[in-house]
Amino acid sequence: MTTNPMLTIDGLQYSNWSREIFEQMREGGVNAVHATLVYHENTRETLSRFGDWHRRFEQHADLIMPVYEPADIERARDSNRVGVFFGAQNCSPIEDDIDMVAVMRRLGLLIMQLTYNNQSLLATGCYEANDPGITRFGRQVIEEMNRVGMIIDMSHSSERSTLEAIELSRRPVIISHANPASFHPAKRNKSDEVLKALADSGGLLGFSVYPFHLKDGPDCTLESFCNMVADTAELMGVDHIGIGTDLCQGQPQSVLDWMRNGRWSKEMDFGEGNKSNAGWPAPLEWFRDNRDFPNLISGLRQKGFAVTDIEKIMGRNWLHQLTQGTPAES
Amino acid sequence: MTTNPMLTIDGLQYSNWSREIFEQMREGGVNAVHATLVYHENTRETLSRFGDWHRRFEQHADLIMPVYEPADIERARDSNRVGVFFGAQNCSPIEDDIDMVAVMRRLGLLIMQLTYNNQSLLATGCYEANDPGITRFGRQVIEEMNRVGMIIDMSHSSERSTLEAIELSRRPVIISHANPASFHPAKRNKSDEVLKALADSGGLLGFSVYPFHLKDGPDCTLESFCNMVADTAELMGVDHIGIGTDLCQGQPQSVLDWMRNGRWSKEMDFGEGNKSNAGWPAPLEWFRDNRDFPNLISGLRQKGFAVTDIEKIMGRNWLHQLTQGTPAES
């Protein structure tokens, strides 16, 4: 069914999940995916998103299975299914309640961003004008996330908050989906200083193929993308990079509006777009959907990466992050 | 530390949990306890009750541990700790949402009552004047509880609803804490018809030592209690009975008021008591707290039960119920 025998883990998607997409994942050789569970949903609403996934696991038990611990990824692979592990793009699932960290972890939330673009109760987002760093509550939550084995993701956070989170956390921090700002300057892309600190912490950067994060946008070539990967491997080390496509396959405009606006604004916020470019960006030619993961492997081969390094980038580094970052509960 | 080497499982408590009580449990030889998590709490509030327990597990890791699957009871026993498994005395944790059954099961809710004294969205409570039986939503929830492995408990339900739940459920149903009405007529005690149907379903009755459920109330003797056990063993078979003390050690009056009134009444409801007897009943002389489990064993020996039957009553039958009723999630 797949022409991609390499362990492949996508470090972020928020697709409009369907049987068709799960089949495409298998076709593209995706063994596991970090699925965004929520953007702005509160604690109660987050439970309903878990409910949606329980239904999917029941209805598509032949194609997908939940990943509650890293070993489930191997189980998924052995049974020719896609393992799904969960992350929140914001800290809204825990509201103002430190106890909800352990509750969400028990439910299967393995990863949580401390903020999504805006200031949160924990940290500052990358769209804010000022970044006062990690808050008092944020320090408590970082310690609790470390304790229960929930990985800290700073993809949508700002510079100072990210550096402080890396400093405060006893465990490696990740940026599941972003690119180096040196490749393409965007609010969502990361400085060399952040990327080096991330690597020093033992963490990981997942490269995004979301056109707003790429040089030349939807026209970015596979060669250009792979040059960026090579430059970043140079900067961070090949053990600290992976893939986090940020693929939002089949999502309607209403979902993009929810991601950008949640309940926080009465005016329309256009995020990385603008009023005359408010919609989803056109997809890359060489990465239209989950069937195109083999193109990434080809591109990295073309660029001259060794097979063992490509294996790390395509999935092994992600598996290592999960293994060290989400130990089984004691 | 304990003089009770027999596997001992208490099928219901709602004590005012503290280090002292956990130590008394070890002293009394209690290996596992079905702890009531909530009475009237909604979904969000139920998460905070789980949060309270996560803190207790962290603070008293030398004394207690969570039971997420039946094998955890043996792990608790091997490490000289008390295993705690969770049940809800009402269906309030799932609100009106079928998806919350699987969510609560994943969090560790192994047992749920379909109703607590009053009519619920699922079934009728034992204090209602009319009992129309299991509702439309109730039928869906019973099927879902069967699917995910959450045990149906009808302790506070009325006659017809209980018989219908037993009929509808593919898995055994339990009554975790009550006594036969033939021993003491009380709204909370159960008819022989219900008890026989329960046994036929493969289920279990946990005997209560709550004085309102006993002949002669706080003056009920151990001998009288053990006669009741013997009579019920005759009726149901010795494989279908256990202990469910309903011990509410150290709880203040406000908790009794919450149990009885929740948010449903502006007038004070006195439950099994009355205006001139509104408080907690005086405890039995031979069962003051968790240290008195060995008295139950002595009483049953005195009554002439074989040791293997006492083992079943004190814990083995409960372990069997959990093993058959809460299979690991697929």
CATH of the domain at B64: 3.20.20.140
Q: Of B300, B295, B308, B293, which is closest to residue B33 (Cα–Cα)?
A: B293
Helices (H), chain B: 19-28, 43-59, 71-78, 99-107, 136-148, 159-168, 192-200, 222-236, 253-261, 293-303, 307-311, 317-325
Q: Of B11, B5, B155, which is closest to residue B89 (Cα–Cα)?
A: B155
How many CB pairs below 8 A link A and B? 52
Residues 48-87, chain B: which have Cβ within 8 Å of A? 48, 50-52, 54-55, 61
B271 or B67, higher pLDDT: B67
Distance CA B170, CA B152 (A): 11
A108 touches chain B (CB under 8 A): yes
Distance CA B241, CA A71 (A): 39
pLDDT of residue B5: 85
pLDDT of residue A4: 76
Q: Of B86, B75, B80, which is closest to residue B30 (Cα–Cα)?
A: B80
B102 touches chain A (CB under 8 A): yes
Residue B327 binned pLDDT confidence (cut-offs 50, 70, 90):
confident
pLDDT tens for each residue of B133-154: 999 999 999 999 999 999 999 9
pLDDT of residue A220: 98
pLDDT tens for each residue of B296-323: 999 999 999 999 999 999 999 999 999 9
pLDDT of residue B328: 64
Chain A residues inside the 8 Å CB shell of B44: 43-44
Q: How many residues does chain B have?
A: 330
Kindly determine whether residue A48 and residue B97, on different chains, have CB atoms separated by under 8 Å. yes
Other Cβ atoms closer than 10 A to B254: 8
In a domain, B175, yes or no: yes
In a domain, B316, yes or no: yes
A96 touches chain B (CB under 8 A): no
Option in A44, A55, A107 nearest B44 (CB): A44
Instruction: Give residue A35's domain range.
Output: 9-325
Residue B2 binned pLDDT confidence (cut-offs 50, 70, 90):
low
Q: Of B115, B117, B122, B68, which is closest to residue B98 (Cα–Cα)?
A: B122
Chain B residues inside the 8 Å CB shell of A101: none
In a domain, A14, yes or no: yes
Distance CA B100, CA B150 (A): 12
B329 pLDDT exceeds 60? Answer: no
In a domain, A115, yes or no: yes
Domains in chain A: how many in total?
A: 1
In a domain, B70, yes or no: yes
In a domain, B217, yes or no: yes
pLDDT of residue A329: 54
A31 phi and psi, to 5 degrees?
A: -90, -30
B159 pLDDT exceeds 50? Answer: yes
Distance CA A3, CA A52 (A): 30
Regarding an ipTM greater than 0.90, the answer is no
A168 touches chain B (CB under 8 A): no
Is A293 within 8 Å of A29 (Cβ atoms)?
yes
Side chain identity at B87, as an amino acid letter? G
Residue B330 binned pLDDT confidence (cut-offs 50, 70, 90):
very low
CA B240-B165-B321 angle, to 5 degrees, is 30
In a domain, B270, yes or no: yes
B99 touches chain A (CB under 8 A): yes
Kindly determine whether residue A107 and residue B103, on different chains, have CB atoms separated by under 8 Å. yes
Mean pLDDT lowest for which of A285-294, B228-237, B259-268? B259-268
Kindly determine whether residue A55 and residue B106, on different chains, have CB atoms separated by under 8 Å. no
Give the side-chain half-sphere CA count within 13 A for B170.
12
Residue numbers of chain A with a pLDDT score lower than 70:
1-3, 328-330
A330 or B11, higher pLDDT: B11
Distance CA B57, CA B65 (A): 6
Chain B residues inside the 8 Å CB shell of A48: 97, 99
Average pLDDT, chain B: 96
Kindly identify which residue of chain A lies nearest to residue B47, measuring between CA atoms: A103
In a domain, A66, yes or no: yes
Instruction: Report the percentage of chain B scoring pLDDT > 70.
Output: 98
Kindly determine whether residue B107 and residue A108, on different chains, have CB atoms separated by under 8 Å. no
Kindly determine whether residue A47 and residue B103, on different chains, have CB atoms separated by under 8 Å. yes
**What is the arithmetic mean of pLDDT over B241-250?**
97
